[in-house]
Amino acid sequence: MVKPNATPETRSVRLLKVGEQVRHLISELLTRQMVHDEVLTARTISITEVRMSPDLRHATVFVKPLLGADEDVVLKALRTHTAYFQKEVAGKLRRKYAAKIKFLADESFDEASRIEALLSSPQVRRDLESEPDEA
């Protein structure tokens, strides 16, 4: 049986706390330009979310460059320095196991924009305005 994807409501508080700690550490490393990479220092990158696996051995880091520019280049640079991020996070969190970090592009903003465009289309507005009142 396939296990459904965990939502923030179904994940444990511990997973959420550790995910937030990892997110803050990676954001701090990028903000303070501790990673010596021209691509990463030249761009503003948002770490939107970190999802931890239930055993805390894997961290999926969702990133979005400012304005979504050069997303592929930024992801490649982040993936190049994955070992550095893993070492720094493991050293500061002091967990039993060092989490393997995987960087992915955050598509939630694009999806939200697509839904907003659909809801503001003339056909949908017409349908929403012509709905009969419930009485």
Q: The CATH number of the domain where 54 resides is what? A: 3.30.300.20
The tens digit of pLDDT for each residue in 71-86 reads 888 889 889 998 999 8
Give the tokens for residue 132: 């009969």
Is position 131 within any domain?
no
pLDDT surpassing 90 at residue 120: no
100-105 and 45-52 beta bridge pairing = unpaired
Structure confidence at residue 109 (pLDDT):
66
In this prediction the pTM is: 0.72
Lowest mean pLDDT among 26-30, 35-39, 50-54, 106-110: 106-110
Structure confidence at residue 39 (pLDDT):
81
pLDDT surpassing 50 at residue 2: no
- Number of domains making up the chain: 1
Is position 123 within any domain?
no
Identify each DSSP E strand in 22-135 by its residue range: 45-52, 58-65, 100-105
Return d(Cα 39, Cα 37) in angstroms, integer: 6
Q: Is the separation of the CB atoms in 30 and 48 below 8 Å? A: no
pLDDT surpassing 70 at residue 7: no
Q: Is the separation of the CB atoms in 70 and 43 below 8 Å? A: yes
Is position 117 within any domain?
no
pLDDT bucket at 131, cuts 50 / 70 / 90: low
The tens digit of pLDDT for each residue in 8-40 reads 556 688 888 988 999 999 999 988 888 888 888
